[in-house]
């Protein structure tokens, strides 16, 4: 009886994952067909791309089945659905670019979708590597300081003279042998590992309160040190690379992890104060921060200048309405950076509110499943690491989608799994790989019911 119960509970649901994965792939296939039908784009190479994406996903599923049989069955299909939708939208924007070139009589531009497909391949390989070589996530804790060092190096790499590359006023890229890469995307994974490893050993000392001011417990001075350090690093990134999005993300991530590790709300209050202070300072000192903020408040005052991106994004969303124009029927190409930062407004125009809600629900599923792995895993490092990675995806989604829909000031980040851009895709597949590894550990039937009960008692105490 009890064995059956456990079996039932830990039933690995791999077939469900396969079925959902095929469904996710089909969403992409149908989207692609609709794009071709409505833009009259030549689908030369389209089927090869779709089939190779399908095969890649199947192989990945096979690796999950083999390496992490108890992993959460919803994570990979949700991510795959987003990735397929992103590919279809990039293909659709390629078609728009080709049409534009044809009407100008200029040679057709190189489609971006094949490069993105290649990055999807690289991302899935990274995912498979993580899953294959990290068979216990706890081993990663050993690399805490290595990861911390690597994260800082990644962050500051674009500032190096030869390989650093400035695009659109932000210095976020490195360029090696003609290939550009955004190391900041990998930095966020490395830094999450560092934070998790660093905090898990010090969480009790960090939780110590020396004195209280206005009912808020103030931690000891030497414990505030790391927070101030990260705050300074985030500010430095902001200043030197003009990357508002990444600094906001890192700061938010560290706050969340401190809070989770120590359980002290005072960290959140202190962080909020530091954020307000840093934000005010940045607004006062940097023209580009001020512009971003003013455009957020009054986008239509300068609709043809600084407000152009955000107003075009809003026009696209308005054109989409509830049900969207349909694939290929809108004008997402009018929004600058439609393939990268503004892919949400492109999807919102053609798929409408219904489409965007579906996409946000996919993100919600990823967040919920990541959090579930974080809760269910049995070691504090795993708890912290998993919620950190989940927070990265959640916060990044909020910052970028909130930015292009004018909920928060526009800061510029890629939308996880949707946006064109290899670094982001690879980094996010690595995150999902780790989350799947942790969820596998959480769901694997390693311990008895008695231990489970004990553990629950400990947690709810």
The residue ranges that bind other proteins (CB under 8 A) are 99-100, 102-103, 256, 259-261, 263, 300, 303-304, 311, 314-322, 330-331, 334, 348, 352-353, 356-357, 360, 363-364, 367-368, 371, 374-375, 380, 383-384, 387, 390-391, 394-395, 397-398, 401-402, 405-407, 459
Q: What is the DSSP letter of 108?
A: P
Three-class SS state of 111: coil
Q: Which is nearer to other proteins, 81 or 170 (CB)?
A: 81
Q: Which is nearer to other proteins, 130 or 395 (CB)?
A: 395
Three-class SS state of 374: helix
**Contact between residue 402 and residue 360 where contact means Cβ atoms under 8 Å apart:** no
CB of 66 to other proteins, least distance (A): 29
Q: Which is nearer to other proteins, 4 or 103 (CB)?
A: 103
Q: Which residue has the tokens 């993100």?
A: 363
Q: Which is nearer to other proteins, 318 or 452 (CB)?
A: 318
**Contact between residue 417 and residue 82 where contact means Cβ atoms under 8 Å apart:** yes
> Which secondary structure element, helix H or strand E, spans residue 248, and what is its range?
helix 244-262
**Contact between residue 167 and residue 408 where contact means Cβ atoms under 8 Å apart:** no
CB of 99 to other proteins, least distance (A): 7
CB of 387 to other proteins, least distance (A): 5
CA distances 287 to 251, 310, 412, Å, are: 21, 18, 16
**Contact between residue 404 and residue 344 where contact means Cβ atoms under 8 Å apart:** yes
Q: Which is nearer to other proteins, 182 or 246 (CB)?
A: 246
CB of 124 to other proteins, least distance (A): 25
**Contact between residue 366 and residue 434 where contact means Cβ atoms under 8 Å apart:** no
Of 416, 244, 415, 406, the residue nearest 313 (C-alpha): 406
Q: Which is nearer to other proteins, 46 or 380 (CB)?
A: 380
**Contact between residue 14 and residue 60 where contact means Cβ atoms under 8 Å apart:** no
CB of 379 to other proteins, least distance (A): 11
Nearest-angstrom CA–CA distance, 282 and 289: 6
CB of 347 to other proteins, least distance (A): 11
**Contact between residue 137 and residue 220 where contact means Cβ atoms under 8 Å apart:** no
CB of 356 to other proteins, least distance (A): 5
CB of 235 to other proteins, least distance (A): 23
Q: Which is nearer to other proteins, 394 or 433 (CB)?
A: 394
Spell out the residues 6+ positions from residue 356 whose beta carbon is closer than 8 angstroms to its own. Answer: 344, 347, 348
Give the number of residues written for the chain.
Answer: 461
**Contact between residue 72 and residue 369 where contact means Cβ atoms under 8 Å apart:** yes
Q: Which is nearer to other proteins, 2 or 304 (CB)?
A: 304
């Amino acid at each position: 009886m009890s064995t059956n119960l456990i079996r039932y509970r830990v039933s690995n649901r791999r077939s469900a994952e396969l079925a959902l994965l095929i469904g996710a792939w089909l969403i992409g296939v149908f989207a692609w067909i609709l794009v071709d039908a409505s833009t009259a784009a030549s689908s030369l190479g389209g089927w090869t791309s779709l089939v190779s994406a399908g095969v890649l996903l199947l192989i990945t599923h096979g690796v999950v089945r083999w390496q992490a049989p108890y992993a959460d069955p919803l994570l990979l299909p949700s991510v795959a659905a987003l990735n397929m939708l992103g590919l279809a939208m990039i293909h659709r924007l390629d078609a728009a670019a080709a049409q534009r070139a044809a009407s100008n009589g200029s040679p057709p531009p190189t489609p971006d979708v094949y490069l993105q497909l290649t990055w999807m391949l690289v991302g899935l390989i990274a995912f498979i590597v993580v899953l294959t070589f990290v068979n216990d996530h706890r081993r990663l804790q050993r690399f805490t300081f290595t990861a911390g060092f690597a994260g800082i190096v990644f962050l500051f790499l674009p500032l190096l003279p030869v390989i650093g590359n400035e695009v659109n006023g932000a210095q976020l890229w490195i360029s090696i042998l003609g290939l550009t890469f955004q190391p900041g995307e990998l930095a966020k994974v490395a830094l999450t590992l560092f934070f998790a490893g660093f905090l898990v050993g010090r969480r009790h000392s960090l939780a110590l309160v020396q004195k209280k001011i206005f009912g808020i417990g103030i931690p000891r001075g030497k414990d505030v040190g790391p927070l101030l350090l990260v705050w300074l690093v985030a500010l430095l990134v902001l200043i030197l690379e003009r990357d508002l999005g990444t600094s906001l993300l890192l700061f938010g991530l560290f706050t969340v992890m401190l809070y989770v590790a120590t359980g002290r709300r005072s960290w959140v209050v202190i962080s909020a104060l530091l954020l307000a202070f840093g934000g005010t300072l940045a607004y006062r000192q940097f023209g580009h921060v001020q512009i971003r903020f003013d455009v957020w408040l009054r986008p239509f005052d300068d609709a043809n200048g600084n407000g152009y991106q955000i107003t075009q994004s809003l026009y696209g969303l308005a054109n989409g309405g509830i049900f969207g124009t349909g694939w290929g029927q809108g004008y997402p190409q009018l929004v600058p950076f439609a393939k990268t930062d503004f892919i949400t407004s492109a999807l919102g125009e053609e798929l409408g509110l219904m489409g965007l809600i579906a996409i946000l629900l996919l993100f919600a599923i990823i967040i919920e499943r990541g959090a579930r792995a974080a809760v269910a895993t049995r070691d504090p490092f795993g708890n912290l690491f998993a919620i950190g990675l989940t927070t990265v995806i959640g916060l990044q989604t909020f910052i970028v989608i909130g930015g292009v829909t004018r909920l928060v000031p526009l800061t510029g980040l890629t939308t996880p799994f949707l946006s064109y851009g290899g670094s982001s895709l690879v980094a996010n597949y690595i995150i999902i790989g780790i989350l799947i590894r942790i969820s596998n550990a959480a769901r694997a039937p390693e311990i008895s019911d008695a231990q489970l009960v004990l553990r629950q008692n400990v947690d709810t105490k």
